[in-house]
Structure 1
Amino acid sequence: MVIKGKRWLKTLTIGVLAAVMVTGCAGGSNSGASEGQGNGTLKMMWWGSDARHEATKKAIELYTSKHTDVKLTTEFTSWDGYWQKLPTLAASSSLPDILQMDAAYIQGYAKRGQLADLSDLDLSGIVDEKVLENIKIDGKLYGVPLSYNGAGLVYDKVTLEKYGIKLPFNNWTWDDFFAYAKEARSKLPEDKYPIDDLRNIWEFYQFYQTAKGKGPIFQDGKFNLDKDTFFEFNNIYADFQKEGVVPPADQQLAFKENDPQLDSLGSGKVMLRTASVGSASAIEALKPGQLAVNSNPIGESGGGWAQSTIFFSVSANSKNVEQAKEFIKWFISDPEAGQTLGMTRGIPIDDEVYASLEPNLTDGERFGKELLDVAKPKALPFYPAPAGAEDFTATYKSEMESVMFGQVTLDAAYDVLVEKGKQAESKIK
């Protein structure tokens, strides 16, 4: 897969009727799914919050008021419930006609032939051509992007200025990032820390490896943990731990993102932390008017990522592919639909739709757009862990936490991770 979406990751990230039948979060009938009669009957399924559910239902009602020749049934649920149910539907060849898809899973469904090729759908003037090219799988489009996402940094500008610390700046290198951390440590009170210790988060290390031009940890189905880069990165953080540049392991692991009392940044314990565009609004609410955004550190290949991670796909078994494609195109580009959907799936993929929303955005929503704008220029593709690598990612977390607590050596942890990574190669779908 060439996707050019868990800490950040949830993520973030996904012709209709005169009479819309809506089934609630507990689920609903599967009739009218991909085995539909080819007469304009569609089924659509998505995950999300209550706000997303309500906005999507209203958008569907808007569409059905103008397209009475096509019927739609809908089903929506939480993230966990969605990904528990979808594999069962796929196994029985009863995927809904239109299904919300996430970057972390779309490759597996496409590779198994379960998604329709949407490459002939004309999205010119709606979706940037570079965006489309970045998300193609083996040269084909299997999901229409719904919104932008990305990764960057947020920092406490007010506190850093208070202590006379040089502020982060966009497109800084990893050396600049580490230099900031050292300088800030020398000027901050003992109970405040320049950065988090994220050695137990495999994605954060992957930012470093990809920026160095070594590629992602899983590349084209092959395990790719560069030993020299891995040791270089972790030895830097080991020194930071000894010097108090990062919080002690027990304090670090007690932090809880976006919790007013337990968030590392929101609680005032850490001055700078990672963030996704999707979570930026929640972060801004922790310290209104006090935070600023910054790009991830970059290397020779760039740094961080910025792209769409949520899509609408169409079942390969759908009898109504053309009607499904027409609806999806309308969903992402119609001005009225845009006003109805707002920011419930993130920053709209159609720039004109976003521009129409901008005057009425909240400060938190604007903060997310600011983060996206600084993440974009040097962004790398988004490299999620492929299906089959779950044991590796879980082991990475536990092994590196043991390293942080001094319970195992880095050499021992590396050996375990290599073994798990090699095992994952045979499972990658």
Structure 2
Amino acid sequence: MKMQMRQWGMLSMTALIALSLSACGSGNKASTAGGSTAATTAPNAASTQPVKLRIVWWGSQARHDATLKALDAYTKKHPNVTFEPEFSGFDGYADKLATQAAAKNAPDIIQMDPAWLSEYAGRNQLADLSKGIHTEDIDKSLVDSGKYKDKLYAIPLGNNATGMIYNKNAVDKLGITPPKNNWTWDEYFQFGKDAKAKLEKDKYVLMDATSDYTVYTAYQLSQGKGYPITEDGKFNIDKDTYLTFVKKYAELRTAGVIPPAEIATTDKESDAKLDLMNNDNVFMKRTFAALLPGYEAVKPNVYSLVNQPKGVQSSGWLKPSMFWSVSADSKYAEESKKFIDWFVNDSEAADILTTTRGVPVSKKMLEYLTPKLTPADKMQIELIKNVAPDAQPFNAGAKGWSNYTAKDFKTIGEKVMFGKVTPEAAYDELVKKAKEYQ
């Protein structure tokens, strides 16, 4: 299984690099009379009767704006189809969706995170997408990431990679050496200390990752200890590694390198005002390549990306940025699939959406867009290329553990941040809580 997971990343990356290089030298693109590369007609024709599709997604304002524009463009092409959009930042999205799905009231079209796919598909809450959407131009291994028990329940929307985002203007202003790929965790922590020594009192360098499962996962992987929760659902948080990680952030908190808990816990990822990067409380935090357009929309030409720090192993991985899925309770499954097919495979959609959900998964659309990519778009591709050679195997998350990784780990970590429990007590609590999921 690990070989298969690693193969996904390398196959996708090979195609991505090849297309990026070939597209730069090619101006050829098939198009209709209207200038839009046409998606092949979906095998299952949808109705021409009036249809209103509920559609839900999370993201930054840049993603919201692009998606709403795409919905309008689709309605112009298909006047019988209108949309009822529901969108927000990431915080609270998972809870709302779970509540809707449990009540059989989920939107027709759902932006799905890889970590949740097995749970929703396993509860028969998603429609089978094996027919009706063209996936020939997407790497098979990437398509397969949207499968559960050999059925396709999700269509990938972008290539993505883990990394760190930092404010390059702030780094230049402080006169410190910017971070470089292949740096270590020790260099990362020292970077924070060096920057803090030159920074004003009420500003901070790094985010507090004590309660961040993604950052802790990267750290434990880099120490050669594997994923904190294995793919088959086994608890694997290494005690020594966890204590070292948490105590290091406690040291940084005391030194003022990271914000105090009352500030750190206000961070709302990708929010134009509440993300601590956007409001200048910190100038470095973990990210994914696909989130860069949101930051760029708030502060153009300010940010740069770098690989996550390494230990004895690398700490980064490649992943599908997100998926579109269709609710099993949708009355308009065929119209929903027709829309997704257009969203992924049509050049009009590609022109509108660009890289707001990551580097496009369709080889034709990536080739079409490459000459038009902005420096920020190219930064996403560059991060993916840099992570790929020694990327960790992708683990979408074990079925049944999403609340543990998204909520319990965060809640227990925040207790440490506020000084309510010791790191040792926090670890014991994580062990105890895990028994509820095994």
TM-score by length of 2: 0.71
Q: Judge conservation of contact 2:129–2:337 (CA < 8 Å) in 1.
A: no
Aligned partner of 1:111 among 89, 99, 122: 122
**RMSD over aligned Cα atoms:** 4.1
Pair 1:132–1:298, CA change in 2 (3 A):
farther
d(CA) in 1 for partners of 2:395, 2:366: 22
Pair 1:84–1:55, CA change in 2 (3 A):
farther
Aligned partner of 1:195 among 187, 192, 206: 206
2:415 is matched with which residue? 402
1:227 is matched with which residue? 239
Aligned partner of 1:160 among 164, 168, 171: 171
- For 2:257, what is the secondary structure of its paired residue? coil
Aligned partner of 2:186 among 166, 171, 175: 175
Q: Judge conservation of contact 2:71–2:83 (CA < 8 Å) in 1.
A: no
Aligned partner of 2:220 among 200, 205, 209: 209
Aligned partner of 2:369 among 337, 357, 363: 357
1:86 aligned onto 2:106: no
After TM superposition, the structure 1 = structure 2 runs for residues 70-149 of structure 1, keeping only pairs within 5 Å, are 76-78=85-87, 80=93, 82-89=97-104, 101-112=112-123, 115-116=127-128, 118=130, 123-124=135-136, 126-132=137-143, 134=145, 136-137=147-148, 141-149=152-160
Deviation at 1:349, TM superposition (A): 1.0
1:390 aligned onto 2:403: yes
Segments of 5+ residues of structure 2 without an aligned counterpart are 6-41, 59-63
d(CA) in 1 for partners of 2:326, 2:304: 39
Moved more, 203-212 or 369-378: 369-378
d(CA) in 1 for partners of 2:340, 2:297: 32
Deviation at 1:231, TM superposition (A): 0.9
2:283 is matched with which residue? 271
2:48 is matched with which residue? 19
TM-score by length of 1: 0.73
- Corresponding pairs, count: 385
Q: Judge conservation of contact 1:21–1:74 (CA < 8 Å) in 2.
A: no
1:244 aligned onto 2:253: no
d(CA) in 2 for partners of 1:362, 1:314: 32
Deviation at 1:417, TM superposition (A): 1.4
Deviation at 1:140, TM superposition (A): 5.7
d(CA) in 2 for partners of 1:208, 1:118: 37
After TM superposition, the structure 1 = structure 2 runs for residues 408-419 of structure 1, keeping only pairs within 5 Å, are 408-419=421-432
1:347 is matched with which residue? 359
Pair 1:270–1:102, CA change in 2 (3 A):
closer
Deviation per residue, 1:135-167 (Å, 9 max, x gap): 554566442312223332111222223333221
Deviation at 1:282, TM superposition (A): 2.6
1:282 is matched with which residue? 294
Q: Judge conservation of contact 2:233–2:398 (CA < 8 Å) in 1.
A: no
- For 1:273, what is the secondary structure of its paired residue? strand
d(CA) in 2 for partners of 1:99, 1:263: 24
Deviation per residue, 1:339-383 (Å, 9 max, x gap): 465456443211431343355556665555555454444443254
Q: Judge conservation of contact 2:66–2:352 (CA < 8 Å) in 1.
A: no
Q: Judge conservation of contact 2:160–2:358 (CA < 8 Å) in 1.
A: yes
Deviation per residue, 1:402-426 (Å, 9 max, x gap): 222222211111111111111122x
2:265 is matched with which residue? 253
1:58 aligned onto 2:73: yes
Aligned partner of 1:308 among 292, 300, 320: 320
